[in-house]
Structure 1
């Protein structure tokens, strides 16, 4: 099994999702010091998945983790990403603020539903 890269934060994302790819590209341009390792879940072999995580689970919600630290999932993963990016760091607290966090979570769940429908369409077309 492949171990987690040694960068400060690892983020697992859906490389088949066009919105996700665009977002990762944007964050990568901002992350000039490469504080974040972006890991395309779709490109991983089964034995390269993180211990205790299935591909389905990782594709179900955004996952981030500092080396050997706790998992940050969903909106918490976005906060972890923003914490690493100087231009967004001061706004990361928004994802941790009651009320705003819940609204962000609702928006994220809506996006996930849209993404699931489009994934099913892509798989049917393939």
Structure 2
């Protein structure tokens, strides 16, 4: 008798970011270039939240939430936010997994998240003042 289970759907890591922020856009373009093989294979994708502002509404994430901090859905469909997205990207980037190991280590992850969030707050305020929406 054949196995009736359907194959598991493998989702990519889907990263949502604000292309209107020059810092965010440059950072993602840089990472995407390092992940070109994974992008081509469909294991990771980078999407502009400005083109689909309600894309993460089912998670309760507003457009400003996503403009303030990176958001992503992982392979199992879970939402990642902020520093956790950066760590997920570094884990998949050739020769950058050590960054994720270091900054995601127990006892360090809290500082990583705090530092990321403060930087994101400053960047978000700067973008708002410059009218980058």
- TM-score interval, smaller chain: 0.7 to 0.9
**How much does 1:85 deviate?**
1.2
The aligned counterpart of 2:5 is none
Instruction: Pick closer, same or farther for the CA change 1:8–1:119 going to 2, 3 Å.
Output: same
Count of aligned residue pairs for this structure pair: 118
- Asked if 1:10 is matched to 2:17, the reply is no
Separation in structure 1 between the aligned mates of residue 52 and residue 118 of structure 2, nearest angstrom:
26
SS at match of 1:98: coil
Superposed CA RMSD in Å reads: 2.2
Listed one character per residue, the Cα deviations across residues 29-52 of structure 1 (whole Å, up to 9, x for unaligned) are: 101211321111122254xx1333
Q: TM-score, with normalisation over the residues of structure 1?
A: 0.78
Q: TM-score, with normalisation over the residues of structure 2?
A: 0.75
Considering only CA atoms, is the larger Rg found in Structure 1 or Structure 2?
2
Listed one character per residue, the Cα deviations across residues 18-76 of structure 1 (whole Å, up to 9, x for unaligned) are: 11111111101101211321111122254xx1333321222232112124421111111
The aligned counterpart of 1:3 is none
Contact 1:75 1:95 in 2 (8 A): no
Runs (4 or more) in structure 1 with deviation over 6 Å come to none
Equivalent positions of 1:14-25 (< 5 A) are: 14-25=18-29
Separation in structure 2 between the aligned mates of residue 84 and residue 7 of structure 1, nearest angstrom:
14
Separation in structure 2 between the aligned mates of residue 45 and residue 112 of structure 1, nearest angstrom:
19
Equivalent positions of 1:103-118 (< 5 A) are: 103-118=111-126
Give structure 1 stretches of 5+ with no counterpart: 1-5
Equivalent positions of 1:1-126 (< 5 A) are: 8-33=12-37, 34=39, 35-46=43-54, 49-50=55-56, 51-52=58-59, 53-123=61-131
